[in-house]
Homo-oligomer: A and B are copies of this chain.
Amino acid sequence: MLPYKNLIIIDKKDSLPVYRQISLQLISLIQEGKLPPGAVLPSTRTLAFDLQLHRKTIVAAYETLVSENWIDNLPRKSYTVSPDLPMFRPRSYNSKRVSPFAETATFDFDHFELVMPLSRSLNNNRLEINDGFPDISLLPVQAISRQFKKTLESSATSKRSGVNLDGGSSNFKTSLRSFLNQTRGIDMGEENLFTTRGAQMAIYIAASLIIKPGDKVVVSEPTYFIAEALFEKLGAELIRVPMDSDGMCTEKLEDILKKNVIKMLYIIPHHHHPTTVTMSVERRNHLMKLITAYNFAVIEDDYDYDFQFKYDPYLPLASGDHGGRIIYIGSLTKVLGSPFRLGYIIATADFLQAAARLRTLIDLRGDFIMEETISGMIANGDLARHIQKTNKLYSQRCDFLSDLVSSEMGDMIDFTKPTGGMALWLRVKPQYDLSKIIKKADLKGLTIKGSTYCIGKDAHFNAFRFGFASLNEQELTEAVHIIKTVTQNL
């Protein structure tokens, strides 16, 4: 309830009767938006007590407002602000307001732009192609909810949880370290692991510690657009190295390293975003030599490692010998779905101490309850089972979609079937304008939301990511049908 005692000031010496002073001040509150349409007024008894007035005075004030249509008094209901007032004038934050007290000058702030190639639908389409997100309808809802409740109960009992400023649950760190050791072969102690809200925060923190304005940073061409936008925001001068079917061209990287002092490389060796290419062994070995020879920092973004359809994954670059130069970043978001945001950084202990300090400024500490919940799921095997189960299904969906695109749209679209991950990278042939396809598909009920590279400097790619993991075969068929139809009728 609003503090009416402070909001309504009665001046008994005023010539206006008290009930009218009250009703006028209530009108101001309504006009200012402090009492929005539908808001419930305090009972006459309560307000009378607060203002130390007779209840009849309040009734008189309210009844005046009822007669003026400011408020309603439905039988056996409280007094409420009328839902259909002719005017409603928000004040504090409305820059377009017209009022005698109008103040248009405000302070300066950074209006920086962020080019987001994700297309947004104006329609609320039933069917949506995302960037490569897991199918959250497969989530073990019972298991997660049970674990959540258990965590909450034990936190409530112990009274201790989350009060530490050291950035995360230690149970989660222990179980995550063991999970990462078993799956990725990265030799590390707990001092080498730092948990974050998601991979994006991990990249933000790592890049913020490394990049100073004017530093040269190498990225692939194309690369994950949000990481690229971040590096530019931090003042980096970006140097782009092309991709081919073996991953980033390390020969071209070497040429660049010979001529430039490079501060950092950002690389996604597994199922590269957006192209889905996995780096070959030869390129990996070449890159490892370059890292040591030229001494630069590397952010290895391995967001998709857990989804490899065949049993021949490569280990992360970070599992090799790199003298602590590789900062390895991963996420459980791709395992559990976008509602769950849990990421991590693996790096040297001194780097992570600086990361923890910066994280305190950004976000104090992590999501203790969620970290503990997921920790329980790692410990009891639920997480590994979920990965195994979904990996199998995603592999089938990948096969299904690849076959479908080849047979239905082979003459319009080029792609290479990935060995894992959750998306195909579809390169539409140059004679078909992808941005037009996206617009027309939207009108036919399909939103293509997956990262699209068909505008601005990325126009020549004319390509998009088709996330297959979250759609069943019927949905995949329908989506391909719509894309085919609109492409044929451009």
- Interface presence of A210 (CB below 8 A): yes
Q: In the complex, which residues of chain B have a beta carbon less than 8 angstroms from the beta carbon of A251?
A: none
- Interface presence of A114 (CB below 8 A): yes
**Contact between B323 and A106, CB atoms less than 8 A apart:** yes
- Interface presence of A445 (CB below 8 A): no
In chain B, what residue has the closest Cβ to A281? Answer: B6
Q: In the complex, which residues of chain B have a beta carbon less than 8 angstroms from the beta carbon of A160?
A: 128
Pick the most buried of A110, A139, A165: most chain B CB atoms within 10 A of its CB. Answer: A110
In chain B, what residue has the closest Cβ to A449? Answer: B163
**Contact between A2 and B185, CB atoms less than 8 A apart:** yes
Q: Which of A323-355 contact B (CB under 8 A)?
A: 323-326, 337-341, 346-351, 353-354
Q: For residue A280, give the distance in angstroms from its CB to the closest CB of chain B.
A: 12
Count how many chain A residues have C-beta atoms less than 8 Å from C-beta atoms of the other chain: 127
**Contact between A313 and B6, CB atoms less than 8 A apart:** yes
- Interface presence of A43 (CB below 8 A): no
**Contact between A181 and B340, CB atoms less than 8 A apart:** no
Flag A27-39 by CB within 8 Å of B: 1 or 0 each.
Answer: 0010011101001
Which of A198-206, A409-417, A454-462, A480-488 binds B?
Answer: A198-206
A348 and B141 contact, Cβ closer than 8 Å, known pairs A113-B357, A339-B368: no
Flag A307-332 by CB within 8 Å of B: 1 or 0 each.
Answer: 00001111100111111111000000
**Contact between A362 and B204, CB atoms less than 8 A apart:** yes
Q: Is the interface of A mostly helix, strand, loop or mixed?
A: loop
Q: In the complex, which residues of chain B have a beta carbon less than 8 angstroms from the beta carbon of A311?
A: 3, 5, 50
- In angstroms, Cα B313 to Cα A197, docked, is 35
A6 and B312 contact, Cβ closer than 8 Å, known pairs A181-B36, A188-B90, A230-B361: yes
Q: For residue A133, give the distance in angstroms from its CB to the closest CB of chain B.
A: 6
- Interface presence of A15 (CB below 8 A): no
**Contact between B361 and A233, CB atoms less than 8 A apart:** yes
**Contact between B226 and A361, CB atoms less than 8 A apart:** yes
Pick the contact of A185: B34, B108, B226 (CB < 8 A): B34
**Contact between A93 and B347, CB atoms less than 8 A apart:** yes
A155 and B198 contact, Cβ closer than 8 Å, known pairs A226-B360, A348-B93: no
**Contact between A321 and B141, CB atoms less than 8 A apart:** no
- In angstroms, Cα B108 to Cα A275, docked, is 30
Which of A70-78, A236-244, A292-300, A421-429 binds B?
Answer: A292-300
- In angstroms, Cα B90 to Cα A153, docked, is 37
**Contact between B182 and A155, CB atoms less than 8 A apart:** no
A182 and B39 contact, Cβ closer than 8 Å, known pairs A162-B338, A351-B109, A362-B200: yes
- Interface presence of A470 (CB below 8 A): yes
Pick the contact of A92: B138, B326, B339, B360 (CB < 8 A): B326
Q: Which of A158-198 contact B (CB under 8 A)?
A: 159-163, 165, 181-183, 185-189, 192, 197-198
Q: List 8 A-B contacts (CB under 8 A).
A: A2-B182, A90-B189, A93-B346, A109-B351, A137-B159, A162-B339, A226-B361, A229-B361
Using a CB–CB cutoff of 8 Å, the interface residues on chain A facing chain B are 1-3, 5-7, 29, 32-34, 36, 39, 50, 90-95, 101, 103-114, 116, 118, 128, 130, 133, 135-139, 141, 144-145, 148-149, 152-153, 155-157, 159-163, 165, 181-183, 185-189, 192, 197-198, 200-201, 204, 208-210, 212, 226, 229-230, 233, 263-264, 292, 295-297, 311-315, 318-326, 337-341, 346-351, 353-354, 357-358, 360-365, 367-370, 449, 470
| Given A107-B325, A141-B156, A198-B364, 18 new contacts (CB under 8 A) | A7-B185, A29-B185, A33-B181, A39-B182, A93-B346, A106-B297, A107-B297, A108-B263, A135-B159, A136-B155, A137-B159, A138-B156, A145-B149, A148-B148, A161-B338, A197-B197, A226-B360, A367-B367
